[in-house]
């Protein structure tokens, strides 16, 4: 059980699938943390010049994940169209970041870990998007 799940469990309004929603929120924030850490680790690598694209994509993905998590947390006036658009953007950002990090994963463990977090977030957002359909 996470704090997210605890908060959703005591939410007074109707929520379609609290578990799927909680998983997506947690995955967004976990991915944002992984992307920040990966970008920071890339900056410390000797081959930093080869990682400029990875750093930029990490930071973009982090920003999209934080925004998505924020939208998902606020359920009192949720708009399914906006939520779907934000989830789609997050799925795209996570896919792009995972692809980039996977291309460096054989040389950089932080990229492998980040790619895995991105794939989990991508899956969680896709599951929630399916719930909205």
Question: What pLDDT digit, counting tens, does each position of 14-64 carry?
Answer: 887 899 999 999 999 999 999 999 999 999 999 999 999 999 999 999 999
Residue 46 DSSP label: T
Dihedral in degrees, nearest 10, Cα atoms 121, 96, 64, 42: 100
**Is 17-132 assigned to CATH 3.50.50.60?**
no
pTM of the complete model:
0.95
pLDDT at residue 13, as a whole number? 85
Q: Within its chain, how far is the Cα of 47 from the centroid? A: 26
Mind giving me the DSSP string for 46-88?
A: TTGGGGHHHHHHHHHHHHHHHHHHHHHH--TT--HHHHHHHHH
Domains of the chain, by residue range, sit at: 17-132
């Amino acid at each position: 059980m996470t704090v997210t799940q605890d908060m959703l469990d005591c939410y007074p309004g109707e929520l379609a699938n609290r578990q799927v929603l909680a998983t997506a929120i947690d995955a967004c924030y976990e991915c944002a943390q992984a992307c920040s850490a990966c970008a920071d680790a890339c900056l410390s690598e000797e081959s930093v010049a080869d990682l400029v694209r990875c750093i930029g994509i990490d930071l973009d993905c982090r920003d999209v994940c934080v925004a998505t998590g924020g939208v998902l947390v606020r359920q009192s006036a949720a708009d399914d169209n906006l939520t779907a658009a934000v989830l789609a953007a997050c799925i795209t950002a996570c896919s792009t970041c995972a692809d980039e990090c996977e291309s460096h994963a054989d040389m950089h463990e932080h990229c492998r870990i980040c790619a895995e977090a991105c794939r989990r977030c991508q899956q969680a957002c896709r599951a929630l998007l399916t719930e909205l359909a």
